[in-house]
Structure 1
């Protein structure tokens, strides 16, 4: 739930900052354009962040040596099991 609040806060900050920087005046056409641009950039950045997080997680999970024993490890394992 905290993540949802964080993204909501980020959206409000992005929207407020964008409106402030572009000297926003409240009429329907300019508000619609600002809102659409802000939503577009927010969604693009969200997709980028999610892609980056998933890539990092998948790279951390994959290990080249996971589940593979060397010959020495196999014989040590076999000796230990027979004792």
Structure 2
């Protein structure tokens, strides 16, 4: 339900931003151009944030690649 509220707030903010930039006059053509450009910017920001998170996740996953857990260590010590 929170994501629905988030998208509702985003839609309201887009509409208010459009009205503020155009001195509270509404035009269908300029509004569609505004929506296309702002959605493009929003999607590019999401792609960049997703890329950063994927890079961080990849770095964390491979930073512990050669480390043993406690159980693996004791199994290794007992096998000698």
TM range (shorter): 0.5 to 0.7
1:62 aligned counterpart, secondary structure: helix
- Quote the residue 2:37 is aligned against: 37
CA-atom RMSD in angstroms: 2.9
2:26 aligned counterpart, secondary structure: coil
Structure of greater relative contact order (alpha carbons < 8 Å, 6+ residues apart): 1
TM-score, length-scaled by structure 1: 0.61
TM-score, length-scaled by structure 2: 0.63
Of residues 4-13 and 50-59 in structure 1, the stretch that sits farther from structure 2 once superposed is 4-13
| Gap runs ≥5 in structure 2 | 69-75
Where does structure 1 differ by over 3 angstroms across 4 or more consecutive aligned residues? 4-7
Counting matched residue pairs gives 73
